[in-house]
Chains A and B, each alone.
Chain A
Amino acid sequence: MKTITNLLKSALAAGVMAVATLGVSNPVQADELDAIKESGVMRIAMSGAYPPFSFVNEQNEVVGFDPAIGAEISKRLGVEVEIVTTAWDGIIGGLLANKYDAIVGSMSITDERKKVVDFVGPYYRMSRGIFVKQGSDVADLAGLKGRKIGVTLGETHEQWAQEQEGWDVRTYKGLPELLLELDNGRIDAIVTDDIPVLLAIRENVNAITQLDTSGLAGIADQAGIAIRKGNPELHKAMQAALDAMQEDGTYLTIAEEWVGGDIR
């Protein structure tokens, strides 16, 4: 619960804002591992709209594979975990802006992202899937020409879809909206990681089918945990925690609980 202290903090921050234009430079910081341990909390971010990897249950708690992995890593670093949900298209911006310490949010590791953040992991393997509504007249990739294709803004699949010739690409804020819109018939196909959609199909949430895209090369991706650059100690500690939980079986337990199998 927010209190008067927050209000005072806000007022103080406003003062800071007033002088910030005079030019304040960030002091050079030591490795953030120390700062995290000192505060006793690691803040991890995810979209919260990506079941079963991260979603909100009926008790309004953020749960899923990603929060479980993040919590386990925090536990092994000896700190508490704090989960932040934020829109996917601003999630790296938020990390760079120090809104949280890591993104444990099913983010695929790409060269472009590596230019701005470091990755711990990979912690699971994902591949691109293209899905259409059951009974759709689209039978293969070629059939997608001139159709409306839904993607999540800021995902690797968005850029890939934009590069395809003749696709009418629509951007959305997350997978739930994509599934809603596919179901509505506003879009003809969606491009996304396949596991969450395959699970949704298995649970009969949506009447959709996957297009056979076996002809596509290089569509497998790896999910990593993003942290700010310049933190070798934090990277090392998180990687060690991740490796250890994979060895002692904790990882597998988590994967089986949320995804129903090993996804390495």
Chain B
Amino acid sequence: MGLDFAVVPEYLDRLLLGSAWTIGITLAAAALSFFGGILFAVIALYAPAVIRWPFKTFAWLFMGTPLLLQLFLIYFGLIQIGIDLPAVVAGIIGLGLHFAVYNSDIIQAGIRAVDKGQYEAGRTLGLSQAQTIRKIIVPQAVRAVVPPIGNNMIALLKDSALVSVIGVTELTLSSQLAISKTFRPFEFYLAAAACYYVINLALEAGLHRIERRIQVAR
């Protein structure tokens, strides 16, 4: 069985629709992972031990197990204990939390880098602890760590392919649907790879612009 790319155009609209879902899921999960990452970082550094330790355990679990397994557990496992999430939501939450834990690590390092002096200065100026963290430390820390967080978002885009296993018709599952009709895996997976690559380039360009803007702002 050789190659025949002529079968691809017939399914192009479905691949493009799948691409749109992939972009949507990626952006939603990226937003969740960004703000979740900040929240987790603040918890890990400033929260009282009673909150900090359960959280650290949770982060440790997320970092030590495969994302694929986490997605299965969130979608097929949680409903066993009464938490019913639609597949898309389960996918976004799984991706978002997974990368929030990784972002949190990066942001914590960023916070530690600005913390000294600034924190005391904020408090001396009459700001509360929460205000100091929110208005002085976090904005500086986040700016400093934009490039590594951007890398995580690019990784997130590619890992969004995993939500196909819980039945979200994004780009990967769309190509699988086409393959189950045409029996032409090479052509359709290559087409899917091309779509991912283009989305990836666009995302990289977008992140690059954000990085430049932040550098100008500094």
Complex: A92 Cα to B181 Cα, angstroms = 10
Per DSSP, chain A at the interface is: mixed
> A176's closest neighbor in chain B, by CB?
B76
A93 touches B179 (CB 8 A): yes
Q: Residues of B contacting A170 with CB < 8 Å?
A: 167
Q: Residues of A contacting B84 with CB < 8 Å?
A: 184-186
B183 touches A172 (CB 8 A): no
Q: Residues of B contacting A97 with CB < 8 Å?
A: 185
Complex: A92 Cα to B176 Cα, angstroms = 12
The minimal Cβ–Cβ distance linking B96 to chain A, given in whole angstroms, is 21
Q: Does B6 contact A (CB under 8 A)?
A: no
> A150's closest neighbor in chain B, by CB?
B167
Q: Residues of B contacting A116 with CB < 8 Å?
A: 183
Per DSSP, chain B at the interface is: helix
Complex: A84 Cα to B10 Cα, angstroms = 32
Known A173-B165, A180-B76, A184-B79: A153·B176 in contact at CB below 8 Å: yes
**Which residues between 143 and 170 of chain B lie within 8 Å of chain A, taking CB atoms?**
165, 167, 169
B177 touches A90 (CB 8 A): no
Q: Which of A153, A177, A186 contacts B180 (CB 8 A)?
A: A153
Known A96-B1, A177-B76, A184-B84: A171·B177 in contact at CB below 8 Å: yes
A90 touches B185 (CB 8 A): yes
Q: Does A168 contact B (CB under 8 A)?
A: no
Complex: A116 Cα to B183 Cα, angstroms = 8
**Which residues between 70 and 108 of chain A lie within 8 Å of chain B, taking CB atoms?**
89-90, 92-93, 96-97
> B86's closest neighbor in chain A, by CB?
A186
**Which residues between 129 and 154 of chain B lie within 8 Å of chain A, taking CB atoms?**
none
Which residues of A pack against B, CB within 8 Å? Answer: 89-90, 92-93, 96-97, 116, 153-154, 170-173, 177, 180, 184-186
Q: List 21 A-B contacts (CB under 8 A).
A: A89-B176, A90-B179, A90-B180, A92-B183, A93-B179, A93-B185, A96-B1, A96-B183, A97-B185, A116-B183, A153-B176, A154-B180, A170-B167, A171-B173, A171-B177, A173-B167, A180-B76, A184-B79, A184-B84, A185-B84, A186-B86
